Amino acid sequence: MTRTLAILGERWTLLILREAIHGLVRFDQFEKSLGISPTTLSRRLRALVRQGLLEGRDTGRSGRQSYHLTERGRALLPAYIAIKDWAEQWMSQPGDTGTVLTDRVTQRSIAAPCLVRDDGSAIVAEDVVVSASPTHANDSLTRRMDRA
C-alpha cells in the first residue's frame, strides 16, 4: 500500500488519470482541463509513464507525445469509480456538479462495485479480516478491522 500511495497519493496523479479515463490524451488538453502549470504537468506525465500507468506515443508533430492509459492504468478504473462515487456522496458541496459514467456498449450508468456476500448481504469494514496474501506469509499482518 505504501508504494501505491507514493504513486497515487501525489496531488495531481489521480486528476491526470481521471482526465485520461475521460479520454484526454494531449498535453494541452490536460493543461487546460486541470489548470496545471506546464512544468508540473510535464513532470507528472513523465512519472506516470515511468510507473507504467500511461504510455507516451509520438504524435509525429515535432517531438510531441500523446498519453494513453496502459493496461496497468486501465486496471485503476474500479478504484477511480469508487473514489469518484465516494467523493460525490460525502464531499460534494451545494452547487457542485457530479458526473455520470456510462458504458458505451450498454448505455447504462456505471457505479462502483459493491462488496456483497453470496447471499446478497453487504460486507462492511467491521466484517473484514486483513491477512497476508499467500505469497507474503507474515502472520503478524492478520488482524480484524475494529470499529472506529
User: Digits of tens for pLDDT over the chain (148 positions)?
Assistant: 788 888 889 999 999 999 999 999 999 999 999 999 999 999 999 999 999 999 999 988 887 899 999 999 999 999 999 999 999 989 988 888 888 899 999 999 998 888 899 998 999 889 988 888 777 655 455 555 444 4
pTM: 0.80
Written as one letter, the residue type at 40 is: T
C-beta of residue 73 within 8 angstroms of C-beta of residue 38: no
Q: What span, in angstroms and rounded, lies between the C-alpha atoms of 42 and 113?
A: 33
pLDDT at 28: 95
Written as one letter, the residue type at 105 is: V
Q: What span, in angstroms and rounded, lies between the C-alpha atoms of 83 and 62?
A: 37
Fold of the CATH domain 2-74: Arc Repressor Mutant, subunit A (1.10.10)
Altogether, the residues listed in the chain come to a count of 148
pLDDT at 148: 44
**Look-up of cell digits 500511461:** 54
Residue-range domain boundaries for the chain: 2-74, 77-130
pLDDT at 97: 84
User: Where does 22-65 have alpha helices with state H?
Assistant: 27-34, 38-50
And the C-alpha cell for 33? 482541463
pLDDT at 51: 96
3-state secondary structure of 102: strand
